[in-house]
Amino acid sequence: MDTFKIITEAHKGFAYLILLAGIIFVVALLVTMFGYSGKISKLLRKSTLFTMILFHIQLIVGILMLVFSPGLKGALETGTLMSNAAARFSYVEHPVSMLIGVVLMTIINKYMKSNETLAMKIVIMGVIAFALFAYAFPWARVFPSFFA
């Protein structure tokens, strides 16, 4: 089997896990935010850690995917990387959005480890991280039956 195909399938598989972990994280974040005490629960700490770990693994697999990508090499050689909307999304917007999401999740995880109560800035960062993830998520490729 081709190396790029293996990396692509791993990237796609981790996408499902990240989607599930991200939803659990956002729900736990909102429950804590709207809770009476605002204390960071065990569920929120664990979901933040697990989501951050999955984001980092996905980032590494995504970087490997970019390195081995024949599409990126072709777009760079022909000079159509920024003029082609599909290539721009796949090779520029998607990686940059995900990288920003990974950085935000790392900051959130550091905050969760060192504080007992939730701050509004962390909630906003969590929502932005998940919004960037949702924006850059290739919904049609991961769930082709819904977008056919």
| pLDDT tens for each residue of 105-130 | 999 999 999 999 998 999 999 999 99
Give CA–CA dist 100/116, Å, rounded: 25
Give me the residue label for tokens 């697990």.
50
Confidence of residue 78 (pLDDT cuts 50, 70, 90): confident
pTM metric for this prediction:
0.87
Q: Tell me what the pLDDT averaged over the chain comes to.
A: 88
Residue 50 has pLDDT above 90, yes or no: yes
Q: What is the C-alpha separation between 87 and 79, in angstroms, rounded?
A: 11
pLDDT at 39 over 80: yes
The tokens for 42 are 């065990």
Confirm if 22 and 133 have CB atoms less than 8 A apart.
Answer: yes
Q: What percent of the chain has pLDDT over 70?
A: 98
Q: What is the distance between the alpha carbons of residues 102 and 143, in angstroms, rounded to a whole number? A: 23
Contacts of 66 (CB under 8 A, 6+ apart): 72, 91, 95
